[in-house]
Amino acid sequence: MLPSRNIYGGAHQLLHDWFGKRPNLDVGVVFFDGFTTSDFTKALAGVKKKYADRLAAGRRVYVYLESPCNPHGVFLDVPGIA
Amino acid sequence: MEQLEHFHIDPKSPTGRPLLALAEKLYAAHGDVMDLWEATTRELGRLPRQDRLALFNAKKFLSFQLAKLLDTLQNPSRKTHQSLRYSNTTMLAKGPYPTFDNVTAIFSATPVITRTATYLYACSEWIDDALQGREFLHEIYSRLMNPTSISLPNHIVYIEAGPMAGEYMAWNFNSGMAAIDAALSHLVGY
């Protein structure tokens, strides 16, 4: 999973503590900082490299965004990222 | 015939004869509806707008005719129910059978706000079908699904997607975190 760092605290906790933790679902979770398409593209390349084995085995990358972000109200370049 | 046998009703009796005739026509009508659905899916893209409008109006008319059929059926059904002479305790607890008065809700110009927690079933086999996910007409329990909570996301799809509404579906949840958890679990769960 490639979620934005700028998300609601509850969603962050769910991804970090439940989906991401090894004793729980052990899903690969990498948060990306920043707001632009270029910030996202860099993070996506990192994820593809880090989890190349899982992706080769048929797993997929899912992107999770919130915009405007809670609680800071910043906007992500959603059309660019999508 | 199978349906009458299921309920131990003699198909040659004065009430059995019209019941059998109606049941056979309804089964045939269901087959026709499925054919219409299939033909519509196949042909709709090729039809000019005027024909699509005519098709929609004809189907709307049929929906009203079906509702009228169901509403009329409630008259002999109510008479039969009243003749059972349930005890006062039962009648006070249950009241009249809800389908007697609910059919006209279909004609409400805005979606009906449904405040029920549980649902009625035609027979015990349908409860099993509902719980196994084989009968989509029947809800099981309002925490899981409810006519109002089906209507809400359908309207949201029209608001959000406009002319692309046919390409999307939506679900509504009682909290944002429930929605996020459900969507993510569906995608990345094992």
Residue A81 class from Cβ within 10 Å (0-12 exposed, 13-18 middle, 19+ buried)? buried
ipTM of model: 0.82
d(CA A16, CA B27): 53
Number of A to B CB contacts under 8 A, please give it: 24
B98 DSSP 8-state letter: T
The pLDDT confidence band at residue B91, using thresholds 50, 70 and 90, is confident
Domain segments of chain A: what residues? Answer: 2-81
d(CA B125, CA B134): 11
The confidence score (pLDDT) of residue B189 equals 66
Residue of A nearest to B177 (CA): A11
Kindly give the residue spans of alpha helices, DSSP state H, lying in chain B.
Answer: 2-6, 16-43, 49-83, 88-94, 99-102, 124-131, 147-161, 176-188
The per-residue pLDDT for range B3-30, each reduced to its tens digit, is 999 899 999 999 999 999 999 999 999 9
Q: Which residues of B166-181 are buried (b: 16+ CB within 10 A; e: fewer)?
A: eeeebeeeeeeeeebb
N-terminal to C-terminal alpha carbon distance within chain A: 15
Query: What stretch of H or E contains A63?
Result: strand A63-64
Average pLDDT over chain B, rounded to an integer = 90
Tens digits of residue pLDDT in A9-50: 999 999 999 999 989 988 999 999 999 999 999 999 999 999
Which chain A residue is nearest to residue B188, measuring alpha carbons? A27
Which residue from A8, A11, A62 is facing B188, i.e. has the nearest CB? Answer: A62
Is pLDDT above 80 for B32? yes
Report the pLDDT value the prediction gives residue A53, as an integer from 0 to 100: 95
B164-177, pLDDT tens digit by residue? 999 999 988 888 99
Mean pLDDT of B145-164: 90
What is the reported pLDDT for B96? Answer: 84
pLDDT at position B79 is 93
Taking residues B142-149, report their average pLDDT: 84
- What is the C-alpha separation between A31 and A39, in angstroms, rounded? 11
pLDDT higher than 60, residue B190: no
> Do the chains contact at B180 and A27, CB–CB below 8 Å?
no
Helix, coil or strand: residue A45: helix
pLDDT score of A2 = 97
Residues of A with CB under 8 A from a CB of B: 1, 8, 10-11, 14-15, 19, 25, 27, 62, 64
| Out of B177, B184, B190, closest to residue A10 by CB | B177
Q: What is the value of pTM for the model shown?
A: 0.70
Report the pLDDT averaged over residues B106-127: 86
User: B130-139, pLDDT tens digit by residue?
Assistant: 888 888 778 8
- Residues in B closer than 8 angstroms to A14, CB to CB, are 177, 180-181, 184
CA distance A36 to chain B (A): 23
Contact criterion met (CB below 8 Å) for A68 and A57: no
pLDDT at position A50: 96
